[in-house]
Amino acid sequence: MKRLSQLAVARSLKRFLYNGALWGAYSQLVAVTGPIFTGYALWMGLKESDIAAVASVVALGGLIQPFSFMLVSRLRDQKAFVVRVGFLEISLVVSVLLVPFLTSSTGARLALTSGLVLAGTFMGHLVSPLYNSWFSTLLPEEIRARFLSKRMVLVSLSAMAVGYISGKYLDVVHGEYLGFLTLFIFAWAVGVGGYVLLAKVPFPQEVRVERGTSLGRVILLPFRHPEFRRLLSFYLTWAFAALMANPFYNVFMIRDLRIKYATIGIFNIIYTTTTVLGYRFWGNIVERFGSKPVLQVLMVPRVVLPLIWVVLTLGNAHILLPVIMVVSGLTFSGLTVAVNTLLFGTVPEGGERSAFFASWAFSNGLVSSAASGFGGLLAHLLSGYEASLGGVALNNIKLIFIVSSLLLGVPIYLLRWVSDVKAKPASYLLGQVLRGNPFAFAYNAFLFSRAREVRQRARAARAMGRSKSPMAVERLVQAMNDVSPEVRVQAVKGLGETGAEEAVEPLVQELSDEESDVRAEAAEALGKLRHPKGIDALFKALDSEDIRVQISAIRALGDIGGKEVKERLYRKLLGPFNRLLFPTVVEALSRLNDLRVVVPALEGVRGYRSSVIRLQLLNAACRALGAGDRFYRLLSLNRLELAERLYDILENIRKQLRNLPPEPRAAVSGTLKELEAALEEERYEDMPELALELAEELKGKGETFEVGLEALRTFCQLHREGRSERPEIFSVVCLARLVECSFPSHSLL
């Protein structure tokens, strides 16, 4: 069979997605430890230990996987074998509906139920190695983690919807046989539908199992692979510890907590919703940081979860169970994506790929059976046990939860030897994930990947940056190469908003690219990051032929600051006068509190007719003097508010002047009185000269005072020439700063 085209692979993967959705619904209804099957078993009269026994027996189904090679290798149409045996699997499992009609004995019902489910499970495991090899062969490595998480999302959504609706339905029919009959027939339909979809997927030649593969080779070959062996050891100890308690969670809710099926369905919705979000989130995390650090981080809450179940009571269950479901969903989704991605990456390419999957399932079947059997044995031995520990009532099921938690410490120890070439340290992962809002990033990364409209993609790119998650950097760097200029602009701006050091280098490269149309935005983004690594590139951008790039570079340098930056910008100010650049340079230097810019800023007012630019220069001069944005804030007030605020400032000045000796105080008080009168009578044109006269009488000292005094003189000259703006505001703000310099322990503004 020739190599599949990209289109054929895309169509095949879409069918695998739909296949997963159908099987998600099927599994929710027939899983032995699920609420529907558990409820059916309890209706038939089985006990919790019986359900654990069924789970233990069913887990033995995985033991047949290595033997499947002996049969499959002799078949010509191996694809048809998968579909037909899968049909038989579904039919056998659903046939448990017949058990109540065949016997009334509880023991016989247990045996029949176990036998039918085991037979169906054998059929499923018979085709499982071939199916997994088929799936993994078609799945490209570069999208493996994302596709697996996407498929798991559909599986979870399907299970969530079916779980809630089926639970609600069972409550309506009061958990009677007719309700279970309807649900199991529906399970048969969707289960078979999943295999029907597989019939339309191409079966690559390299997936075929050839003759000559011995049973010993199938079983032993994977165990000679050290990386696979270490991963399997970790997973099996984890599976044993987790699965020994798994059959009892639904039993505990139904029997001990007396929770209705519909309510369990709501809890499952919470769990599944969190799991769905977790799949999308952890898929991106695993793809970037590797699987091992995710496992290291998530195994810790996984150990704690069974202990939370121990403290559940009728009184607190409805409060704690939603918390348990959220934590469980996030933990399960991350562990599942990490383990599956690691498994697919560890299994070598080639025709023996199926053997590794078979050994994995064979070992997992043994351990799962042993775990469920061990849990059932404990439940039986401890039946009727009651005790109290620290005020917490204990019974047989709660003791099983405690044992499960203790045993989960073993895989944490074994995880250190698991190999993952892509892995970053767990501490690095935590540092990246805990910064910013990881869920906002994951949500918008999902929107960006799904959106097709330019504006939607642009908004999602910007929102990824605003999440301030370092994980957004890689996606935004990719978005900088988007065909749409709007998306490129928002991606660059988003990089600046991440606050991540990792964003500096790609922005420097973008700024240095003469052909880039987002160089100006890249410069501004570097300013927002305020990292010294961006300074050299911004210095070079000051000489760019593109005036937009120069302006952005000046603003960015003003944001970054530092002595070197201040000197470089001041040299730019002293260079040839450029009407477009001058206000920006003045603005940047004023934000750096460079007193040298005050007088040049005021003198530069003469070069502009625009009152907006003049006011900008006056505001910059006040800021450089140390007034912050007080000029701007006063400018934004309406006339009544402004008059009141200016008068309050003059009153504060009067209070400070009381600290002067009597003779100079008498001299300045008269001038201040005239200044207040000019404000009250709205003779604003007289205020600059009065403010200058009062300032000169203060005879203050210090560089700021001297520069401020010179600023007032320059402004008065501008005012005489008719080139000033808002003299009442500048006069009062500048005068207040001079008084503050004379009495530095008090703030007047």
Q: Is residue 1 predicted with pLDDT exceeding 50? A: no
Residue 208 CA to residue 352 CA, distance in Å, equals 10
Q: Is residue 140 predicted with pLDDT exceeding 60? A: yes
376 within 8 A of 56, measured Cβ to Cβ: yes
pLDDT tens sequence across 631-688: 999 988 888 888 899 999 988 888 888 877 777 777 788 888 899 899 888 898 999 9
Quickly tell me which residue has 């400070």 as its tokens: 656
Phi, psi of 394 (to 5 degrees): -115, 140
Q: Which residue has the higher pLDDT, 471 or 145?
A: 471
Residue 164 CA to residue 270 CA, distance in Å, equals 10
Question: Average pLDDT in the 702-725 region?
Answer: 90
Task: For CA atoms 148, 149, 152, 157, give the dihedral sign.
Answer: negative
Which CATH superfamily does the domain covering 6-417 fall into? MFS general substrate transporter like domains (1.20.1250.20)
Q: Which of 442-456, 493-507, 735-749 has the highest mean pLDDT?
A: 493-507
Architecture of domain 446-606: Alpha Horseshoe (1.25)
Q: How many CB atoms lie within 10 A of CB 326?
A: 17
Instruction: Give the angle subtended at the CA of 173 by the CAs of 167 and 176, to the nearest 5°.
Output: 95
Q: How many CB atoms lie within 10 A of CB 185?
A: 12
- pLDDT-derived band at 69 (thresholds 50, 70, 90) equals low
**CA 550: distance to chain centroid?**
35
Task: For CA atoms 133, 138, 141, 145, give the dihedral sign.
Answer: negative
**CA 257: distance to chain centroid?**
34
Q: Which positions ≥6 away from 47 have C-beta within 8 Å?
A: none
Helix, strand counts (H, E) of the chain:
37, 2
Please give the pLDDT value at position 598: 92
User: Hey, what amino acid is at 527?
Assistant: G
The ranges assigned to domains in the chain are 6-417, 446-606, 633-742
Question: Average pLDDT in the 106-126 region?
Answer: 87
Residue 137 CA to residue 207 CA, distance in Å, equals 7
Quickly tell me which residue has 């100079």 as its tokens: 664
3-state secondary structure of 184: helix
pLDDT tens sequence across 361-407: 778 777 877 887 888 888 888 887 778 777 788 888 889 999 999 99
Percent composition of the chain: helix, strand, coil (DSSP 3-state, to 5): 80, 0, 20
Residue 12's H or E segment, with its range, is: helix 6-30
The whole-model pTM stands at 0.61
**Mean pLDDT rounded to a whole number for the chain:** 85
Q: Which residue has the higher pLDDT, 549 or 223?
A: 549
Task: For CA atoms 332, 336, 342, 347, give the dihedral sign.
Answer: positive
Residue 110 CA to residue 50 CA, distance in Å, equals 7
- pLDDT-derived band at 220 (thresholds 50, 70, 90) equals low
pLDDT tens sequence across 442-486: 778 878 877 888 889 899 889 988 888 888 888 888 889 889 999
Q: Which two tokens stand for residue 222?
A: 């994977």
- pLDDT-derived band at 251 (thresholds 50, 70, 90) equals confident
Question: Average pLDDT in the 177-202 region?
Answer: 91
